[in-house]
């Protein structure tokens, strides 16, 4: 019978391989070698690379979705909750950059069916956009588009920090840029003030 400790090693090894080689560039053999298990032992836990990736995606994206749902439920103004969402993603990135970059860059369609009731972080952001439109703090527009714009202000800096020349942008070891990222994300979806030109 497969040992639970092996499963954890396999998932950790897969995450490291995906971070190093990309999902498409990773082979089952590489995951098994990194985990210190045989390919047969790996297949006793997961029938394919896709199954390993699906388990990682559900674990880490689901955890992020639950945390975002807790923020949405807070009795705070919409901008304050949106700011907490930014800080949540930055904190999760710093705690486990490989996991955060993996879930932000993968298409869930690659991994088959997602469990019913799965909490998607983007859905939580959509809810905040709709609430913000009702209370007047968020600009007009389709909520899922606004949620994507908001998320883009977070994802792009993380990707630049990950793939740019070493030391050119450090978001992992310092919080010096957090205020700029928060301000950019909030500005992307904020309702224009009366002094600003209206949207075309």
Show me where the domains of the chain are located: 1-47, 62-189
CATH topology of domain 1-47: Arc Repressor Mutant, subunit A (1.10.10)
Whole-angstrom Cα distance, residue 174 to residue 166? 14
34-86 pLDDT, tens digit each:
999 999 999 999 999 999 999 999 999 999 999 999 999 999 999 999 999 99
Nearest one of 69, 49, 19 to 112, comparing CA atoms = 49
Q: 27 near 49, Cβ under 8 Å? A: yes
Euclidean distance between CA atoms 132 and 154, whole angstroms: 19
β-sheet bridge partners, residue 138: 190
CA distance 6 to 180: 42
DSSP result, 113-182:
PPPTT---HHHHHHHHHHHHHHHT-B-SS-HHHHHHHHHHHHHHHHHHHHHSSTTSS--SS--TTHHHHH
pLDDT (0 to 100) of residue 110: 65
Q: Are both 1-47 and 62-189 of the same fold? A: no
* CATH code that applies to domain 62-189: 1.10.357.10
CA 182, chain centre distance (Å):
16
Counted residue by residue, the chain has a size of: 200
C-alpha dist (Å) from residue 126 to 4, 84, 86, 141: 37, 15, 14, 11
Strand partners, 190: 138
Is the model's pLDDT at 16 over the cut of 50? Answer: yes
Distance CA 177, CA 199 (A): 29
pLDDT category at 1 given cuts 50, 70, 90 is: very low
pLDDT score at 4: 57
Q: How confident is the model at residue 200 (pLDDT cuts 50, 70, 90)?
A: very low
Distance (Å, rounded) from C-alpha 31 to C-alpha 33?
Answer: 6
């Amino acid at each position: 019978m497969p040992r639970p400790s092996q499963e954890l090693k396999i998932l950790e090894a897969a995450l490291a391989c995906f971070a190093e080689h990309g999902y498409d560039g990773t082979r089952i053999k590489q995951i098994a070698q990194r985990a210190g298990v045989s390919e047969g032992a790996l297949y006793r836990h997961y029938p394919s690379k896709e199954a390993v990736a699906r388990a990682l995606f559900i674990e880490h994206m689901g955890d992020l979705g639950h945390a975002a749902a807790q923020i949405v439920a807070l009795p705070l103004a919409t901008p304050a909750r949106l700011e907490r969402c930014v800080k949540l993603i930055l904190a999760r990135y710093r705690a486990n950059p490989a996991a955060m970059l993996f879930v932000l860059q993968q298409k869930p369609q690659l991994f088959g069916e997602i469990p019913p009731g799965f909490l998607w972080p983007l859905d939580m952001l959509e809810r905040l956009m709709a609430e913000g439109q009702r209370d007047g703090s968020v600009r007009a527009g389709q909520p899922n588009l606004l949620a994507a714009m908001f998320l883009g202000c977070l994802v792009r800096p993380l990707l630049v920090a990950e793939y740019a020349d070493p030391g050119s942008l450090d978001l992992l070891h310092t919080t010096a840029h957090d205020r700029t990222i928060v301000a950019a994300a909030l500005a992307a979806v904020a309702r224009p003030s009366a002094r600003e030109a209206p949207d075309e």
